[in-house]
Structure 1
Amino acid sequence: MQADWDDIRIFLAIARGGSLTRAASTLQISQPTVGRRLKKLEDAFQARLFDRLPDGFALTPEGTALLPKAEAMEAAAAALTAEADGLSPDAEGTVRLSVDEVVAQILAPLLPNLRNRLPAVELEIGIEHLFASLTRREADILVRDRPPQNTNLIARKLFDLDYAVYGAVNYVNANPAAKTGDRYRECDWIGYDALHRYFAGGEWLQERLGNRAPVIRHNDAAMMGDFVAAGSGLGVLPMILANRYPNIVRLTDPIEDLRRTVHIYVHQDIRRVAAVRAVMDALAEETRSIETALLIPPAK
């Protein structure tokens, strides 16, 4: 029997998504097509690869045995694609970036310059908490302030991110403790919910609040500045983004424990692709001017 790579891709998508619907969405094909290709594959292997359960699809022992072989086939296909792409010396085509919400906000003003530098390159930007898999070609480049678990990736530093405590002018004026060390005991705070406390500043803030909890808790780092600017409480913000809000003031020096470094991460098989390499170089060049305006003192 000769395995069809298109059928193997469907097998992997179902195994990862747990349903025909999610697999179809991932592969951008119809659900009936996914079902037909799965049946074709199971007929070819003369084995049932998934148990159809009320809450989704679960791998059978036969499917579990096939999984690592299918993943190896996927990795080989990705390497071949990268090799073919790398043969072209021209920076053209689509480059997919995976970024978190904070990095997305920082990169957004740079996009016009990136487009001017690389007119033949189109960018797909996935904004998500979780890391996309570069091995599975879910993205070509990761831009993150913390390293992924995959140690086979090549890292390139872009810039440092500094964080500080901020509050809206009207809230700070109404709550003088915001300008003192009593802020953690007397002021309202905006923070992250328990599942997202790993975001920058989440655990740091909770340690200082002790048994108290932020009065507003959320899961979107991109919204922190808007919530603080609305005057509902104090919050921890990346300084480069906080400087975009005219009605908030910085209340502390940069928090040394929260400094993070943003890196580009790329798979070693992809780094030689002309378009990917060009985007990496352009990002490095465009982010050199990023500063956190440390000369602006905190409010007194």
Structure 2
Amino acid sequence: MTFDWNDLRIFLELSRQGRLTPTARRLKVDTATVSRRIAELERALELRLFDRSASGFTLTKAGEWLLPKAEAIQSHANEIALGLDGNGAATGCVRIAMMEGIGSQYVACRIGDLSANHPGLMVELVTSPMILNLTRREADISLSFVPISGPRLTIKPIGKFSLFLYASPDYLARRGVPRTMADLKNHDFVDYVEDLIQIREVHWLLDVIKNPRVVFRSSSMLAQQAAAAHGAGLAFLPSFSAEPDKRLVSVMKTVARAERSIYLGIHDELDGLPRIRIVSKFLEDMIRNDTRFLMQT
């Protein structure tokens, strides 16, 4: 049994992307090449590695058997390449998945420090309202508000952040400043679109008030923040995003607050790669050093 080792690279990328076009784009080849190389690998191994359907490619049992072995080969090849580099610098692409708010309002604001110290790294930050699948390699690292699950994943809590009620000075001047939980019944709120919430933990407004009078909903936390900043109503927002926003002021901080944990997730097969270790350590150190900022009172 002989096969082209380069076909394993195509196999890995297709297993992560699940479709020909994004796989071809990532590998900088055409879709016909991806399809042909996968077919040749299956013929060489005498195994059907993927089930094909209109929705894309999914691994068969044989493909799931091959996946960790191909990942191990890729991991060793990357380590060898790094060793031959001679300067100990980590290189390559690392894709991090997280929710929109923490990605755009916190992590993206600090990623320049990582790039300055490791110019050979290229970070892809993918924001999504749902948890991406690390097992299927939709991302290399995840930051989530819930402990995700899956085979061969290492998940650990690395910090927390606080949430408070915020509104614009104009709104508070018109409607009054709430002082008690009972006062909230007379106020308007900005919230998530309920039927589009993929992770229940982000529906944090319900930690404060069970039946809010909602006047604006959005699947985007940033849109909610913008609406509140322009007088639409009260919004329950992470302090890392709302505190620096000069258009907003906090109310009832001592009685209306919540907190969420931040979990770091990495696939076990990637944990040994220098670029993964560097990025994950950067994220852990960043969140630990920013504890007072993230957990404001």
TM-score, normalization by structure 1: 0.74
In the alignment, the residues of structure 2 paired with residue 76 and residue 36 of structure 1 have an alpha-carbon distance, to the nearest angstrom, of 24
User: In the TM superposition, what are the counterparts of 1:4-83 in structure 2 within 5 Å?
Assistant: 4=4, 20-21=20-21, 23-25=23-25, 28-37=28-37, 39-40=39-40, 45=46, 50=51, 55-56=54-55, 64-81=60-77, 83=79
Q: Is the 8 A contact 1:91 1:120 kept in 2?
A: yes
Aligned to 1:140: 140
Give the Å deviation of 1:38.
5.0
Deviations along 1:131-175, one digit per CA (max 9) or x if unpaired, are: 444455544332333322136444565432000111111112111
Aligned to 1:240: 240
Q: Does 1:150 align with 2:150?
A: yes
Cα gap change, 1:262 to 1:254, in 2 (>3 Å)? farther
Look up the SS of the partner of 2:88 in the other structure: coil
Deviations along 1:239-281, one digit per CA (max 9) or x if unpaired, are: 1211111121111226787312224333344334333333333
Q: Is the 8 A contact 1:141 1:265 kept in 2?
A: yes
Instruction: State the AA in 2 paired with 1:80.
Output: H
In the alignment, the residues of structure 1 paired with residue 67 and residue 49 of structure 2 have an alpha-carbon distance, to the nearest angstrom, of 18
Q: Is the 8 A contact 1:78 1:137 kept in 2?
A: no
Cα gap change, 1:100 to 1:197, in 2 (>3 Å)? closer
In the alignment, structure 2 segments of 5+ residues that lack a partner are none
Instruction: State the AA in 1 paired with 2:235.
Output: G
Cα gap change, 1:198 to 1:159, in 2 (>3 Å)? same
In the alignment, structure 1 segments of 5+ residues that lack a partner are none
Give the Å deviation of 1:102.
2.3
Give the Å deviation of 1:101.
1.6
Give the Å deviation of 1:73.
4.0
Look up the SS of the partner of 1:215 in the other structure: strand
In the alignment, the residues of structure 1 paired with residue 39 and residue 122 of structure 2 have an alpha-carbon distance, to the nearest angstrom, of 36
Instruction: State the AA in 2 paired with 1:121.
Output: L
Q: Is the 8 A contact 2:159 2:291 kept in 1?
A: yes
Instruction: State the AA in 1 paired with 2:72.
Output: A
Q: Is the 8 A contact 2:129 2:198 kept in 1?
A: no
Aligned to 1:102: 101
Look up the SS of the partner of 1:259 in the other structure: strand
Aligned to 2:160: 160
Count of aligned positions = 290
User: Percent same amino acid among aligned pairs?
Assistant: 22
Deviations along 1:95-148, one digit per CA (max 9) or x if unpaired, are: 414132222221222223323333443323222334444455544332333322
Superposition CA RMSD, Å: 3.9
In the alignment, the residues of structure 2 paired with residue 47 and residue 283 of structure 1 have an alpha-carbon distance, to the nearest angstrom, of 39
Q: Is the 8 A contact 1:172 1:179 kept in 2?
A: no
Q: Is the 8 A contact 1:157 1:264 kept in 2?
A: yes
